[in-house]
Structure 1
Amino acid sequence: MTSIIVNVAVGVIKKNNALFICKRANDQHQGGLWEFPGGKIEAGESVFRALKRELQEEIGITIFSSSELLTIKHDYDDKTVKLNVHVVSNFSGEAHGAEGQDNAWVSIDELDNYEFPAANVDIISAIKAKYI
């Protein structure tokens, strides 16, 4: 059986040396773990457009530009995700948990203190390689 591939736009929201992370709701896939915000890319939507829409809904910021960090495909038992990860440092508004989710600004060297889904390991490695 072929697993469904879910295309996701992921934003690494960066302000100075801090990154914005959110905690997934317990009833979500990979619930209770921390993540970089984002969401599904709709049919015909570019990564940037999806990121702009999702970050406005999820954390209340308006983004003006982003730069690609990496793309990862990760297989979970129940689905495959293709994470299109972009760094966002050009935005307006104050990032917050617009959907009531826990959130935090953390320094890059503090990321290891938070539990992320397995697919995020490569994202964290790429962030450290680029910024540390």
Structure 2
Amino acid sequence: MDKKRIHIAVGIILNPDRSQIFITQRPAKAHKGGFWEFAGGQVEHGETAEQAVIRELEEEVGIAATDIEAFMSMTHDYPDKALTFDFFLIKAFDGVPYGKEGQPGQWVAISALPNFTFPEANEPVLAKIVDVLG
């Protein structure tokens, strides 16, 4: 049985001096529950990935992205899910990010990202973040 491919837009939210990234923790009952992630979500029909990341960041962490840069695109297949990702650097935003949906969230130094458990799909982007931004 073929898995339906889901398109996900993700924001890597940088603090003003670009030394930290805001991450959130997935709900326990979600796929990869308890793992840490960058805010984002599914691209809706008729929406570009950039439009989706702007919408998702407002819904999930309460910010309005004002400076967005494409960072990386990739696919990853889990046994039960097939995902396509577009990751964006969020270099400037209005508001203060927080877990708007009740999820824990925190600023983390780029050098400390390897200390957090992310879903396997995030491994290539984490390596690129440390390489390019760290």
- TM bucket (normalised to shorter chain) is over 0.9
Distance 2:85 2:91 in 1: 19
Is 1:112 matched with 2:114? Answer: yes
> Gaps (5+ residues) in structure 2?
none
Is 1:11 matched with 2:11? Answer: yes
- 2:69 touches 2:91 (CA, 8 Å); kept in 1? no
Aligned position for 1:42: 44
- 2:13 touches 2:89 (CA, 8 Å); kept in 1? yes
If the length of structure 2 is used for normalisation, what is the TM-score?
Answer: 0.96
The alignment partner of 1:109 has SS state of helix
Query: Which aligned runs of 4 or more in structure 1 are off by greater than 6 angstroms?
Result: none
Please, what is the CA RMSD of the aligned residues? Answer: 0.7
- 1:8 touches 1:39 (CA, 8 Å); kept in 2? yes
The alignment partner of 2:47 has SS state of coil
Cα deviation 1:43-74 (Å, max 9, x = unaligned): 11011110111000100000123111111100
- 1:69 touches 1:126 (CA, 8 Å); kept in 2? no
Distance 1:57 1:42 in 2: 14
The alignment partner of 2:123 has SS state of helix
Q: How does 1:74-89 map to 2 (within 5 A)?
A: 74-89=76-91
Aligned-residue sequence identity (percent) comes to 36
